[in-house]
Structure 1
Amino acid sequence: MNDLSFTISPEAAGDAQAIERLHERTFGPGRFVLSAYRIREHVDHLLDISFTARIGTLLVGSVRQMPILIGDTPALMLGPLTVEPPFRGRGVGRLLMERALKDAKEKGHAIVLLVGDEPYYSRVGFKSVPKGRITMPGPVDAARVLVFELVDGAFEGVSGVVGPDWSKARG
C-alpha cells in the first residue's frame, strides 16, 4: 500500500460519535468493565489534549486524556488510544501519543498514567509503576499500569488510589 498522509488534530466536540463507534469496533462491549473505563465514567476527557488522526476526512485513530488523581496528586490518564485495524502498524498510534504528551507538557501537566502493554508504550517512554505504589478500582493487571513523567522526577513519592479528579466532574 502507498504511504498515507495522516493529519493529527485536536479532538472537536463533533468527533464524539465517530470516536465512540471506533471504540465500539476496536474494543467491543467488554470495555466498560475495565478499570480505566470505570475511572472515566464521571469525568470527561480534555479536548485540548485529546487528538484524532485522519486521512482526508476519514477518522482512523483517536487518543484521549482525562484528569485523574493518584492519591492527592493531579495527573492525566491517557486512553483509550485506538487505531482502525487496517491502519495499524503505520505509526498512527505513536504519532497520536507523541502529540498528546507534547501538548500535555506544554499545558503544565506533569504525570500521565495508562493501562496498556509495556512493550508497546515503552517505545515512547512509559515505564511500569513500581508494585504497590498505586491502586486502581476494579480488576487490573498491575504489570500493565504504566507512567510517563512529563516533568523529570514528578512521579517520585507519588502513591495512592487512582480515581477521577472530582473537581473536574460532570455537573
Structure 2
Amino acid sequence: MFARSELFADLPFLPPAFSLRAETAADESARESLLDAAMGPNRRRKSSEAIRRDRLPAEGLSLVAESDEGELLGTVRLWNVSAGSREGAEVPALLLGPLAVSTRCEGLGIGSALMRRAIAESRWRGHGAIVLVGDAPFYERFGFAADRAADLAMPGPFERHRLLGLELRDGALSGARGAIVPTGRLVETLAAA
C-alpha cells in the first residue's frame, strides 16, 4: 500500500478539505484580504459595489468556505435589491456578489459549492430571484441567463451581456424592467438599534 504522500507527490499541493458555513464578524479581515487578492484593487469601483455600499447583506446569506485548518478559502454574499419594477410595483430580488475563491484554490470546486449553497439557501428563505454581473459560462451551469435580466440595468457602467438572472420561483423576473436598486438594511440601522 502507498503512503498518501507518495500517491500525491506530483501535485503542487494537496487540495484542502473544506466546509461551508455562515460568515461571522471574525471573518471580516480574512474576507477583505481574499477579495482584494482575487478581484484586484479596482473591485470597489464596480457598479454592483454601488448597490452594496453602506448596506448589510441579506439575512443569512453571507457564506464562507473554510479549510479544516480554519483558513478562509472562499466567500459569497447576497444583497436585497429591487430588480426594477413590474406594473408599477418593485420586483424583490437578491444581488449575488462578490463570489471569490483564494487564488491558490481556483478550480477545486469551492466556488461551485458556494454557489449551490447560496442558491439553495436563498430558495429556502423564500426569495424569488437572484441577479448578478458575471461570466455567463460559469454562472449558466447554475441556471443563470442573460435573457432573464435583459430589461434590467445596473447603476453606472456595466457590460450588458454579463448581467444575468435566475428565477427561484417561476416568473419572478418576468416583466421586470428598470434599474436594480438596493433595498437592504443600511449599516447605520444596525448601529442605531
TM-score w.r.t. structure 2 length? Answer: 0.83
Q: What's 1:58 paired with? A: 71
Instruction: Give the CA deviation at 1:27.
Output: 1.2
Q: What's 1:105 paired with? A: 123
Q: 1:160 & 1:42 partners in 2: Cα distance?
A: 22
Instruction: Give the CA deviation at 1:26.
Output: 1.2
Contact 2:93 2:131 in 1 (8 A): yes
Q: 2:149 & 2:140 partners in 1: Cα distance?
A: 17
13-22 or 96-105, larger mean C-alpha shift: 13-22
Secondary structure of the corresponding residue to residue 138 of structure 1: coil
> Gapped runs of 5+ residues in structure 2?
1-10, 85-89, 189-193
Q: 2:103 & 2:137 partners in 1: Cα distance?
A: 19
Q: Which has the larger radius of gyration?
A: 2
Match of 1:14 among 1, 26, 38: 26
Contact 1:70 1:162 in 2 (8 A): yes
CA-atom RMSD in angstroms: 1.5
- Aligned length, in residue pairs: 170
Q: What's 1:169 paired with? A: 186
Secondary structure of the corresponding residue to residue 44 of structure 1: coil
TM-score w.r.t. structure 1 length? Answer: 0.93
> Gapped runs of 5+ residues in structure 1?
none
Q: What's 1:126 paired with? A: 144
Instruction: Give the CA deviation at 1:29.
Output: 1.9
Aligned-residue sequence identity (percent) comes to 35
Contact 1:126 1:146 in 2 (8 A): yes
